[in-house]
């Protein structure tokens, strides 16, 4: 059972504000972020609680508020006996002088938790969509909620249920929510229990709610044609394709989803479904991404509207060279014009990021707009999953054509498996990332929020000052091949042994450069990258990046 620690990192420097006991019985973990006009931040979060260290945690909705310097101002949880919020998103809205927090509740089905719903005299048989009005210290002033009956059947003899009881039990997951024309618009998924005798279909609901908690409109959406049986599946499978999947335009909504299938003889990987402002179906279009594989689909979708009426979509997909054992990160820019004649979405541009060995890329990549028409894109690359090889968080700044302006690497330490959860662009032109790190040599997991100011992306000196790198060497320790990954081009790579003797030198022209180290003796080597003329924006010796590599 993993123990959790929580940090806030500001400008690359970790400030510890959490707990440090392996017997911890409660903790908060951030999941999203919104920036407030006064420079503070609110994080819709998760609250994990158990009564003893031998139990499993029950998960509840929570909120945390930080100053612009990372100081914790307030936090509050919205725990309810017998209920949990597993896998559900939470959203915060600022309206007038109040905050509004939107979440869901479903019966807690983890029998090893004190909060197991059948531990109560009157166990819950419903699920809830709840809106809380909060004061400036995140205390609840008013509660508005809506309740619907939920299937509470338990397939305890099934390994799926034992692995993920809340994922395979009746529940509702909140996908997306945003403010539109003065109201809250959102979507949630209602699931039936796995192998329930009365198993119905899992259903997507869209709703409009005002800030007094009244549901103005709610519709169940039967959206998954043409391969409905493939997409309408267990919520446990659906939640991996869940986050910000809902786009609003001036005239309509677009809901993005993954889902393999076949349309007009072509394999498809995902779809965009168009609805009017009353959630009436308009049309459906299909995504055939580059290197579309048979029976392939997109995972862990998140979307962001661009400044020019296209949509950025981040996803995780199978590597076409090794689809059984390799997953890559991909960013699409999609022309999803509702009036386009084609039934297929036009991929205006895309990037594909991956590593060479078996890996799992970001289960949540992130993309956000910068105020100068560039975008920030973040993802995680793991050189070997849950091994002692390298992983790193990558932050790219891209222009409108998805050409790389700069690439930065963060969180490098081969003791940890680093994973980014999401990224937000801040009003000052910088970014905030939420990420976690699993200790590969213990059962500890660490949660981080790291803020990088705009200055960290101006030049290499500033990047280094905030813990960012512009090149990495891997795997480290390595064997007969040393790889250098960098966004720099035409830089000179030089490798020295510990006696200062030069063992290799070449010009870097590709994202990944592989160096034959088979004839090098075992030991530690120092590598340096300099600008092509030996000068540039590195340190006083013209070094753009340097590090140690162990064979």
How many other CB atoms are there within 10 angstroms of residue 212's CB atom? 9
Task: List the domains of the chain with CATH numbers.
Answer: 80-242 (no CATH), 244-354 (no CATH), 474-551 (2.60.40.10)
Which of 201, 208, 255 lies closest to 230, judged by CA? 201
What's the token pair of residue 326?
């390799």
pLDDT of residue 230: 40
Residue 227, pLDDT score:
41
DSSP string, 361-420: --SS-EEEE-TTS-EEEEEEEESSTTSSS-EEEEEEEE-TT--EEEEEEE---TTEEEEE
CA separation for the pair 113, 6 (Å, rounded)? 22
- The predicted-structure confidence for 183-232, as pLDDT tens digits, reads as follows 999 998 888 887 777 666 678 899 999 999 999 999 988 644 434 344 33
Q: Which pair of tokens denotes residue 3?
A: 């123990």
Strand pairing report for 404-410 and 391-398: antiparallel
DSSP 67-89: -TTS-EEEEEE---TTEE-TT--
What is the structure's pLDDT at 536?
44
CA distance from start to end of the chain: 33
Q: Which range has the worst mean pLDDT, 130-144, 173-187, 403-417?
A: 403-417
Distances (CA, A) of 121 to 66, 81, 193: 39, 11, 22
Provide the token pair at 491: 């830089």
Q: Give the residue among 257, 367, 217 at the shortest CA–CA distance from 305.
A: 367
Q: Would you say 31 and 49 are in contact if contact means Cβ atoms under 8 Å apart?
A: no
Tell me 344's DSSP state.
Answer: B
Higher model confidence: residue 316 or residue 11?
A: 316
- The answer, yes or no, to whether residue 537 has pLDDT greater than 60, is no
pLDDT at 204: 83
Q: To the nearest whole number, what is the mean pLDDT of the chain?
A: 83
pLDDT tens for each residue of 133-151: 999 999 999 999 999 999 8
Q: What is the DSSP letter of 136?
A: T
Rounded to 5°, angle at Cα 30 from 17 and 73:
50
H/E element, 160: helix 159-163
Bigger pLDDT: 291 vs 131? 131
Residue 257's pLDDT band (boundaries 50, 70, 90)?
confident
Closest CA to 136 of 71, 27, 46, 40: 40
Query: Ranked by mean pLDDT, which of 161-170, 225-234, 285-294 comes out on top?
Result: 161-170
Query: In which element (H, E) is residue 304 found?
Result: strand 299-305
Paired sense of beta strands 3-10 and 444-452, if any = parallel
From CA 250, how far away is CA 224, in angstroms rounded? 24
**What per-residue confidence (pLDDT) applies to 222?**
64
Neighbours of 177 (CB within 10 A): 23
Q: What is the pLDDT of residue 209?
A: 98
- The backbone torsions φ and ψ at residue 238, rounded to the nearest 5 degrees and listed phi first, read -65, -35
Q: Poorest-confidence range of 141-145, 159-163, 166-170, 520-524?
A: 159-163
pLDDT surpassing 70 at residue 109: yes
- pLDDT exceeds cutoff 80 at 515: yes
Give the pTM.
0.87
Give helix then strand counts, H and E, for the chain.
Answer: 4, 38
Closest CA to 381 of 352, 423, 347: 352
3 state DSSP class of 138: coil
**What is residue 13's predicted lDDT score, i.e. its pLDDT?**
33
- Which residue has better confidence, 23 or 279? 279
Quick check: 11 pLDDT over 80?
no
């Amino acid at each position: 059972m993993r123990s959790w620690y929580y940090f806030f990192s500001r400008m690359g420097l970790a400030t510890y504000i959490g707990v440090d006991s392996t017997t911890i019985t409660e903790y908060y973990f951030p999941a999203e972020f919104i920036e407030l006009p006064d420079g503070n931040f609110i994080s819709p979060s998760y609250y994990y609680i158990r009564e003893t260290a031998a139990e499993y945690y029950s998960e509840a909705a929570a909120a945390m508020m930080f100053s612009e310097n990372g100081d914790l101002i307030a936090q509050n949880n919205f725990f309810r006996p017998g209920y949990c919020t597993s896998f559900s998103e939470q959203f915060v809205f600022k309206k007038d002088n109040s905050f509004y927090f939107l979440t869901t509740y479903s019966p807690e089905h983890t029998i090893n938790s004190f909060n197991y719903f059948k531990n109560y005299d009157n166990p819950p048989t419903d699920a809830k969509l709840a809106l809380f009005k909060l004061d400036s210290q995140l205390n609840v002033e008013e509660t508005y909620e809506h309740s619907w009956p939920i299937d509470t059947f338990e397939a305890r003899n099934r390994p799926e249920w034992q692995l993920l009881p809340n994922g395979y039990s009746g529940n509702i997951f909140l996908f997306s929510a945003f403010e539109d024309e003065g109201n809250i618009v959102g979507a949630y998924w209602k699931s039936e229990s796995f192998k329930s005798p009365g198993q119905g279909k899992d259903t997507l609901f869209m709703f409009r709610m005002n800030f007094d908690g009244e549901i103005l409109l709610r519709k169940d959406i039967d959206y998954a044609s043409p391969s409905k049986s493939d997409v309408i599946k267990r919520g446990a499978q659906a939640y991996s394709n869940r986050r910000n999947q809902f786009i609003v335009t001036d005239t309509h909504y677009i809901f993005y989803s993954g889902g393999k299938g076949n349309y007009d003889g072509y394999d498809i990987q995902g779809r965009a479904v168009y609805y009017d402002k009353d959630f009436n179906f308009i049309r459906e279009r299909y995504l055939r991404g580059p290197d579309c594989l048979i029976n392939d689909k997109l995972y862990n979708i998140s979307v962001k509207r661009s400044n020019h009426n296209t949509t950025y979509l981040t996803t995780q997909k199978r590597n076409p060279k090794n689809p059984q054992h390799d997953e890559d990160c991909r960013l699409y820019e999609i022309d999803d014009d509702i009036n386009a004649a084609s039934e297929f979405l036009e991929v205006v541009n895309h990037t594909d990021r991956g590593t060479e060995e078996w890996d799992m890329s970001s289960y949540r990549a992130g993309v956000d707009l910068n105020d100068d028409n560039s975008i920030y894109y973040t993802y995680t690359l793991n050189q070997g999953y849950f091994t002692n090889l390298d992983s790193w968080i990558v932050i790219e700044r891209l222009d409108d054509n998805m050409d790389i302006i700069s690439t930065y690497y963060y969180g490098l330490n081969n003791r940890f498996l680093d994973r980014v959860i999401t990224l937000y662009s801040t009003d000052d032109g910088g970014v905030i990332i939420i990420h976690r790190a699993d200790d590969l040599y213990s059962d500890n997991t660490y949660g981080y929020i790291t803020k990088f100011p705009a200055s960290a992306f101006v030049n290499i000196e500033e990047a280094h000052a905030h813990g960012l790198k512009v090149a990495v060497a891997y795997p480290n320790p390595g064997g007969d091949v040393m790889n250098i990954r960098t966004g720099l081009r035409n830089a000179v790579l030089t490798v020295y042994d510990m006696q200062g003797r030069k063992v290799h030198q070449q010009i870097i022209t590709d994202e990944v450069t592989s160096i034959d180290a088979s004839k090098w003796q075992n030991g530690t080597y120092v590598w340096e990258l300099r600008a092509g003329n030996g000068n540039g924006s590195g340190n006083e010796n013209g070094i753009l990046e340097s590090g140690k590599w162990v064979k």
